[in-house]
């Protein structure tokens, strides 16, 4: 399980580096992420750009992490790939998490 964690003032920014959140890693993924998220008491922003596959056990892990955070603190998932976003939408979990589209690509200065 690999994460890049950055404690911004207003929120915790976490980049997920695993490319698959599946049954093979769901439990340690959940445990590790809960350890990071639970003590901080801040809204969390997860950068999911690297994740290209998630199954229902991965979804269960994400829900468990969400539940480790008080309800009034947002958990924002950004840059979801289409395959991962599909799982959230089909299971209606897009109502529980705050799904945000990837930021627009900035054109390099000419």
68 binds other proteins, rule: CB under 8 A: no
Task: Give the position of tokens 């468990």.
Answer: 64
CB of 84 to other proteins, least distance (A): 9
- Print the binding letters for residues 8-47 with other proteins: x by CB under 8 A, - otherwise: ------------x-xxx-----------------------
3-state class (DSSP) for residue 15: strand
Q: Which helix (H) or strand (E) holds 77?
A: strand 75-78
Torsion (CA) 62, 31, 14, 55 in degrees, nearest 10: -30
Footprint on this chain of other proteins (rule: CB under 8 A): 20, 22-24, 53, 55-57, 59-61, 63-64, 66-67, 71, 82-83, 86-87, 90-92, 95-96
């Amino acid at each position: 399980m690999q994460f890049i964690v950055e404690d911004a003032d207003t929120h915790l920014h976490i980049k997920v580096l695993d490319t698959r959140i599946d049954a093979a890693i769901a439990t340690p993924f959940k445990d590790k992420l809960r350890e990071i998220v639970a003590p901080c008491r801040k809204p969390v922003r997860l950068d999911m750009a690297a994740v290209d596959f998630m199954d229902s056990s991965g979804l269960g892990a994400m829900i468990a992490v969400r539940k480790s955070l008080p309800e009034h603190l947002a958990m924002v998932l950004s840059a979801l790939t289409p395959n991962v976003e599909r799982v959230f939408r089909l299971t209606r979990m897009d109502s529980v998490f705050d799904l945000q589209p990837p930021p627009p690509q900035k054109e390099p200065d000419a």
